[in-house]
Amino acid sequence: MASPNQLIKFQVHIHKKDGIPHEDFVKWCTQDYPPRAIPLMKKHSMVKWTETIIQPEAVEGLRHTLKNEMNRPKWTVPEYSIIMSYWLRSMDDLTALTTDPEWFELEKEAQKISNPELGHIAIGYDITFIDEEGKSEKQESSA
């Protein structure tokens, strides 16, 4: 279990709706959605939010590499379109966000472009071993 000072990481793995071009989906996720979502997330104490855009052509290449070069024939590479990662201080903050009427309106709009019948959720906390400068947490904190 996370310590009281650790942030909870909540990830939502989303599929775009069939028939929606990948470029249109990415534009909606990265340009249209954030200006409406960010104020609501701030209202409910969201600490950080990121999006991982999945490139469809990379999925097949990674599958090939896993099976043929890394000898991992049973491993899978799901065809998510995007992974949204949220860092928050408590599950209460997540509950407050996702039960807010404004959130329901955003979700209605999102269902026009994403497939609400498919998806995946992960929850946990991060342990950082290397940061963007290549230093470990321990090295960074003692410097």
What are the sequence ranges of the domains in the chain? Answer: 8-142
Q: Which of 139, 120, 23, 35 is nearest to 77 (CA)?
A: 120
At 135 the pLDDT is 62
**pLDDT of the residue at 4:** 60
User: pTM (2 decimals)?
Assistant: 0.83
| Phi and psi, residue 8, nearest 5° | -85, 135
Extract the residue ranges of the chain whose pLDDT is less than 70.
1-4, 134-143
Q: Give, in order, the Cα–Cα distances in Å from 74 to each of 68, 81, 89.
A: 11, 22, 36
State the pLDDT at residue 140. 41
Output the pLDDT for position 131: 81
Element (H, E) at 38: helix 34-43
Sheet (strand 8-16) strand order: 48-53, 82-88, 8-16, 114-124
pLDDT computed for residue 5 by the predictor: 73
Q: Are 14 and 79 in contact (CB under 8 A)?
A: no
pLDDT of residue 54: 93
Residues 6+ apart with CB under 8 A from 42: none
Q: What is the pLDDT of residue 2?
A: 52
* CATH classification code of 8-142: 3.30.70.100
Contacts of 14 (CB under 8 A, 6+ apart): 80, 81, 82, 83, 84, 114, 115, 119
